[in-house]
Structures are given as structure tokens and as C-alpha cells.
Amino acid sequence: MALNRRNFIFLLGATGVVFALEELANPISAVAQNRPTSQARQIYPYTPLPYAHNALEPYIDERTMRFHHGKHYAGYTRNLNAAVAGVSELQGLDAEELIRNLDRVPKRIRRTVRNNGGGYVNHKMFWEIMSPDGGGEPRGSIAKSIRRNFGSFDRMKEDFNARAKKVFGSGWAWLVLDDRGKLRITTTSNQDTPLMEGVYPIMGIDVWEHAYYLKYQNNRGGYIENWWNVVNWDEVNRRYRRARDRA
């Protein structure tokens, strides 16, 4: 599929990002110039990637990472901060607490916080659970828990891939620790997160088209299969231990 302007605007339209024509003519430099407002004025800061934009190649390409991190994640960050600015009762909540307590968010901004706060939390996790040194078999406590709950890593991976492929439209597939201390696989639509359901996400894959379309076009399955080559099992283990401690 040729990446013409019409296709590219359609691809990014899901998040309401419309580039000026000069940005479309040179998208990489446009991303580099698109910076969120100063972190000093942000309740929820825009965090840099923990690796270079091209570090996950060939599985996730540099161009996708620049747009995904520099446009989409940056947009969720800006929108979230703009929504909660001046709302004093929300100032002491970290991003995960905010999403777990949407009933405390004023109705006039609740949908905005749900969409953009979910996008913020989901993507912050997504960057961290990937690494250029990732991939391979899980290790540590998460490996034991996967075997206990699914029988084997291969069985879990097969189930996870199947659920991720079946997400209709935009959304995420997750490995979560539920309130009974059991690992299970779930999915959410749009930028919803398992935190909204009272369960903790151990890891998740973004299956919005903006996460893979520049490289994989409509081959979501190929993207999902290759994604396992960059999974950062050390970070997944850290999140698993955190989830157990919260239980």
C-alpha cells in the first residue's frame, strides 16, 4: 500500500491528529519538532523512550516509533494535562490512581480523562515492556506463574496472540493479574485499560493501526508475532511483583 497523504491522514485520524501539509512532506522532521509543553508545567510528564527510536528494528521500525511516541503518546499527554489543569481534587493522584478512580473525575472532563489518561498509562507501560535486548522465553517469577496458569509459555503465547488478533478495530490485548492472584488474558477497546476493571496489567500489546501499519499494513498477525522478540521480561517481572504486592 502506497503511503500517500490520503492514506496517512486516514491512518492518524483515529486520534484526531491532522498534520499540516508541510509536516506531511517531511514527517520525521515534523515529529522531531513536535514537543509537548514544558514538563515543569505538567502533572503527568511526557517521558522519553528508554532506547533509540530505531532500537527495536527490524521488528518495530524507526518511523513507526517516531510517530507513535512523538505524536500519539505526546498527544495523549498534552490532552490529559490540559483536562486536569486547575482541578485541585485530582492533583495528588498519579496517573494509575486517576484511571482507577474515574468516578472522582468531574463529569465535564471524565470522557477526556478516560480516553487520554488511558492512552497515557497504556503507552507509558508499552515503552517500558519493550527492549532491544528483549525476547526469548520468560524468566523469573513470571515464568513460573505462566506455567502454573496456562500450562506453558507456548500455550499462553498462542492464546494471547489469538485474542490480540480478534480485537475489533482499535484496542489492546493484556496479560493481567486479577484480584484472586490469577494470570489471565483480556482485551480492551480504544485506550481503556484493565486498571478501570480493578485488575493490574502485567503487559499489553497495542493493536491500534498506528502501532504497526507503516511497516505491516493490514498484517496485524505478523506484527503481533514479531512483537515477542522485543518483550522486556525483566520489566514484566517487575510489574508482576508490583501486582502481587498490591493484591
Angstrom distances, CA of residue 198 to CA of 6, 185, 201: 40, 14, 10
Superfamily of domain 5-53+60-128: Fe,Mn superoxide dismutase (SOD) domain (1.10.287.990)
Other CB atoms within 10 Å distance of the CB of residue 58: 9
From CA 166, how far away is CA 161, in angstroms rounded?
A: 9
Query: For 175-199, b where at least 16 C-beta lie within 10 A, e where not — what string?
Result: bbbbeeeebbbbbbebbbbbbbeeb
pLDDT given at position 211: 98
What are the φ and ψ backbone dihedral angles of 56, each rounded to 5 degrees?
A: -95, 5
Residue recorded with cell 510517530: 67
Inter-residue contact 63 to 24 (CB < 8 Å): no
Which helix (H) or strand (E) is 239 found in, with range?
A: helix 233-246
Over the chain (247 residues), the average pLDDT of each successive run of 10 is 45 39 31 40 89 98 98 97 92 92 95 98 98 96 97 98 97 95 96 96 98 97 98 97 85
pLDDT given at position 78: 96
pLDDT given at position 66: 98
- According to DSSP, residue 41 is labeled G
Range 141-246: architecture per CATH:
3-Layer(bab) Sandwich (3.55)
pLDDT given at position 30: 33
From CA 130, how far away is CA 125, in angstroms rounded?
A: 9
Type of residue found at 208? W
pLDDT given at position 154: 97
Where are the chain's structural domains?
5-53+60-128, 141-246
Angstrom distances, CA of residue 235 to CA of 68, 89, 169, 183: 20, 31, 28, 16
Is the peptide bond between 50 and the residue preceding it cis, with omega within 30 degrees of 0? no
From CA 247, how far away is CA 242, in angstroms rounded?
A: 9
pLDDT given at position 245: 86
> Hey, what's the cell of 207?
493493536
Q: Does pTM top 0.75 for this prediction?
A: yes
pLDDT given at position 75: 97
